[in-house]
Amino acid sequence: MNDWPLWEVFIRSQHGLAHRHVGSLHAPDAGMAMNNARDVYTRRNEGTSIWVVRSSEIVASNPGDKDALFDPASSKVYRHPTFYPMPEEVKHI
Amino acid sequence: MLTPSIQFAYLTRFGDTALILSQRLAEMCGKGPALEEDMALANTALDLLGQARLWLTYAGEIEAAGRDEDALAYLRGDREFHNLLLVEQPSSSYAHVLMRQFYFDVWHNLALARLESSTDPRIAEIAAKSRKETAYHLRRSSDLIVRLGDGTAESRARMASAADSLWPYTGEFFTADFVDSTMAEAGMAFDPHALRDDWLRFVRQVFEAATLHMPPLDAWMHKGGKQGLHTEHLSYLLAEMQVLHREHPGAAW
Amino acid sequence: MQTELPQADARTLSAPTEPGAEERAFQTRFETGIAASIKIEPKDWMPDAYRRTLIRQISQHAHSEIVGQLPEANWITRAPSLKRKAILLAKVQDEAGHGLYLYSAAETLGISRDQMVRDLLSGKAKYSSIFNYPTLTWADVGAIGWLVDGAAIINQIPLCRCSYGPYARAMVRICKEESFHQRQGFEIMMVLSSGTPRQKAMAQDALDRWWWPSLMMFGPPDAESANSAQSMRWGIKLFSNDELRQRFVDQTVSQAEYLGLRVPDPDLRWNGERGQYDFGAIDWNEFRNVIKGNGPCNRERMRVRTQAHEDGAWFREALERHAAKLAQRNEGTAAPRAAQGAP
């Protein structure tokens, strides 16, 4: 017999932050993936909300495209506040 | 009339039931049918163990004879245990483990819901805390009953057989004795008969979804656990659970 | 995802092959960078040998967690107090979780959990030999937490920085959760060694039996460790076996002294010049023998795991079947609704 499908688990922590990937597990379907995620990944009070996504449904960027996808952003220094030196006497900006 | 010994007897019924079922589940640790299932089973066992400790600690306080949770768990014999017979039944197969859990979870939720309005604030408090845990136990066990009943031909046959063989141990949920009725009259507990219709309705719903037949409602039922008259299994379970503690009288751990 | 990966085999790892451009680039990254700062992710190109070594290492680690549940689980039902029972149950459950995290990490390399489990049960894959020793008394539970988990932590903390992303992330989670494991073990030993004479004797007996197997947990001496050099170059092993073993001895001896227990090594003494302990020779014959399958519990451990796996087959299959039925029914109900079209 083969494994049950693989699921990726995302948990929103206590602090109201975004859901964060915490790991994976196997389950026959979404309902059981949810229960299993609760039993595997929230044993220490970690979460207030769970997302489960079938691993095969995740579309990931290709590492070979890394330069084309991400390098162009590095030259846009003017998007960052540090690009604009402010006189010291100007406050709250 | 309500006496501490009646209260004590009542509290140990809940404490012992949670303890013995937890022990049965703990036996399975590391041997479940899937890793995820192992994790879930251990969570349930831990919840029940925690509940057992709360009930037994309180029972010891009511008794006021200096017995703490460990004295009660480790130094009583099987005739002094007041757990339901269902939970001491062995884990003969995983189908039995799940069916035992399901029958129990349905009753446990109904019972704890009643105890939440107990006039004894301590009982109400333990019940409220426990019910948060058991609500999830029930969600999980009823889900698995449906899935395994309506799974393969083999799984249906296994679940049906477990449903039948454990059924005669469910009658005890609903029979009242002097302890039950005295506690109910004092507003500290509930009338066990009153849970039966809701229990049957829930079980029937789940069995229908699971394509399982309800065992006969007029079936002969075992009784005696609540009064300390057990099946042969309990003494073995206790022998294992208590061996080390009893071997070192008075030692701290 | 790849399927049908060749089985990881230490002997094929060093086989010289003509490196391609990608492989040269991969090696260069590790030669020029700091290994710990390089992260390889599942979809990145990696040499087959790197992949195979990782699969072997991570799955071995996962198997150790799974089999490692058994010696301690042996005492859950007999734990001497309800508090200890709860702690031990939670701890052994954590081991299952750690196995699960690690299997998942290995799965990102293209091997299925099912395949890994089959390799374990067939004896093809190995697990830490320490779990082939029996837990004979309650003190063994304390000694395992203190020594075995202590050794595991020393092994594992550096792996949080290893070069393979999913493995490193699993290790971060594992180390965080494991922080209580060693302490609960040491606490058991503290209570026993300050308890009744029989309890203290029990604690000493456990230390006597677990000390040497714990030292063996770090693996063969550096001189004989076949894959260490390559693994270190790749940043999936950050310290050598002997270094980690020494670290373990140095930190554990004073803990034993605190407990008032004697480390069973007549050659153990402080070496002021080195600033480290010298310790006696490890019986590597015993180590090799246990790995070969001739430890006290090898067969029993595999019997239990095999039985659990076989007994669970109907359960896993039925849930898969039910999920398929549900999916089919949902399709059946979704289709007519769609056919009605938009209002």
A15: distance to nearest CA of chain C, Å? Answer: 18
Interface check C93 vs A, CB under 8 A: yes
Q: Comparing C-alpha atoms, which of B114, B113, B111, B107 is closest to residue B87?
A: B107
**A59 domain-assigned:** yes
Per the CB < 8 A criterion, the answer to whether C67 and C250 are in contact is no
The total domain count for chain A is 1
Q: What pLDDT sits at residue C332?
A: 67
Q: Do B40 and A39 touch (CB under 8 A)?
A: yes
A46 domain residue, yes or no: yes
Task: Indicate if the pLDDT at residue C5 is higher than 60.
Answer: no
Give the integer Cα–Cα distance in Å for C5 and C204.
Answer: 46
Helices (H), B116-253: 121-149, 153-166, 178-185, 196-209, 233-247
Residue C239: exposure state from Cβ atoms within 10 A (0-12, 13-18, ≥19): middle
Nearest CA in chain C to A60: C43
Q: Is residue A92, in this structure, part of any structural domain at all?
A: no
What is the share, in percent, of chain C residues with pLDDT greater than 70? 90
Domain assignment of residue B175, given as a range: 4-247
Lowest mean pLDDT among B114-128, C27-41, C105-119, C235-249: C27-41
Nearest alpha-carbon partner for B140 in B28, B31, B37, B15: B37
Question: Which helix or strand (DSSP H or E) is residue B33 part of?
Answer: none
Q: Does C268 touch chain B (CB under 8 A)?
A: no
CATH number at residue A54: 3.10.20.520
The residue length of chain A stands at 93
Main-chain dihedrals φ then ψ at residue A22, nearest 5 degrees = -115, -20
Q: Which residues of C touch B240 (CB under 8 A)?
A: 77-78
* Residue of chain A whose alpha carbon sits nearest to that of C98: A40
Determine, yes or no, domain membership for A18: yes
CB contact, 8 Å: C77 with chain B? yes
Residues contacting A52, CB < 8 A, separation 6+: A7, A8, A9, A10, A27, A30, A33, A34, A37
Q: Which of B39, B136, B140 sits opposite A40 (nearest CB)?
A: B39
The gap from C-alpha B190 to its chain's centroid, in whole angstroms, comes to 17
pLDDT at C6 over 50: no
Residue B63 C-alpha from the chain's centroid: 22
Least confident of A74-83, B144-153, C23-32: C23-32
Q: Are C227 and C241 in contact (CB under 8 A)?
A: no
pLDDT average, residue stretch B33-42 = 96
A25 touches chain C (CB under 8 A): yes
Quick one: which of B106, B219, B101, B108 has its CA closest to B162?
B101
pLDDT band at C178 (very low <50, low <70, confident <90, very high): confident
How many domains does the structure of chain B reveal? 1
Q: Classify residue B133: in a domain, yes or no.
A: yes
Residues in C touching A63 (Cβ below 8 Å): 41, 43-45
For strands A20-26 and A47-54, give the pairing: unpaired
Q: How far is B181 from chain C (nearest CA, A)?
A: 30
Contact call for C107 and A43, based on CB within 8 A: no
Question: Average pLDDT over chain C, rounded to whole?
Answer: 89
* Residue C88 binned pLDDT confidence (cut-offs 50, 70, 90): very high
Q: Position of tokens 């039993």? A: A39
B252 domain residue, yes or no:
no
Long-range pairs for B153-159: beta carbons < 8 A, 24 or more residues apart: B154/C314, B154/C317, B154/C318, B155/B95, B155/C314, B155/C315, B155/C317, B155/C318, B155/C321, B156/B211, B156/B212, B158/B93, B158/B95, B158/C314, B159/B95, B159/B98, B159/B99, B159/B210, B159/B212
Phi, then psi, of C104 in degrees rounded to 5: -60, -40
Interchain contact A70–C (C-beta under 8 A): no
**Per-residue pLDDT at B206:** 98
- Residue of higher predicted confidence among C337 and B242: B242
Distance CA B216, CA B168 (A): 10
- Answer yes or no: is pLDDT of B190 > 60: yes
Smallest CA–CA distance, residue A40 to chain C, in Å, is 6
- What residue type is assigned to position A81 of the chain? P
What band does C10 get if pLDDT is binned at 50, 70 and 90? very low
Residue of A32, A43, A52 to mutate for B, most B C-beta atoms under 10 A: A32
Taking the Cβ of residue B1 and every Cβ of chain A, the question of whether any pair is shorter than 8 Å is answered with no
* Partners of residue B158 in chain C, C-beta under 8 Å: 314
What is the model's pLDDT at position C2? 32
Residues C46 and C40 sit within 8 Å (Cβ to Cβ): yes
- Residues of A with Cβ-Cβ distance to C173 under 8 angstroms: 22-23
Check pLDDT > 60 for residue C187. yes
Write out chain A residues lying below 8 Å of C323, CB-based. 4, 28-29, 32
In chain C, % of residues over pLDDT 90: 78
Whether the complex's predicted ipTM is more than 0.90 is answered with yes
Which subunits count as partners of chain C given 3+ CB pairs below 8 Å?
A, B
Domain assignment of residue A90, yes or no: no
CA distance B170 to B167: 6
pLDDT at C340 over 80: no
The whole model's pTM is what? 0.92
Q: What is the CATH number of the domain that holds B16?
A: 1.20.1260.10
Distance (Å, rounded) from C-alpha C8 to C-alpha C55?
Answer: 7
Q: Does C73 sit within 8 Å of B29, measured CB to CB?
A: yes
Structural domain of A44: 6-79
pLDDT at A65 (0 to 100): 86
Mean pLDDT to the nearest integer, C125-131: 95
Reply yes or no on whether the pLDDT at C50 is more than 70. yes
Model confidence over C260-306: pLDDT tens digits?
A: 999 999 999 999 999 999 999 999 999 999 999 999 999 999 999 99
Please give the angle made by the CA atoms of C336, C342 and C343, to the nearest 5 degrees: 115
- Give how far A77 is from chain B: nearest CA, Å: 47
Flag whether B253 is in a domain. Answer: no
Q: At which residue do the structure tokens 């996808």 appear?
A: A69
Contact B39 A26 (CB under 8 A): no
DSSP per position, C236-297: S--S-HHHHHHHHHHHHHHHHHHHT---S-TT-EEETTTTEEE-----HHHHHHIIIIISSS
Distance between CA C214 and CA C211 in Å, rounded?
5
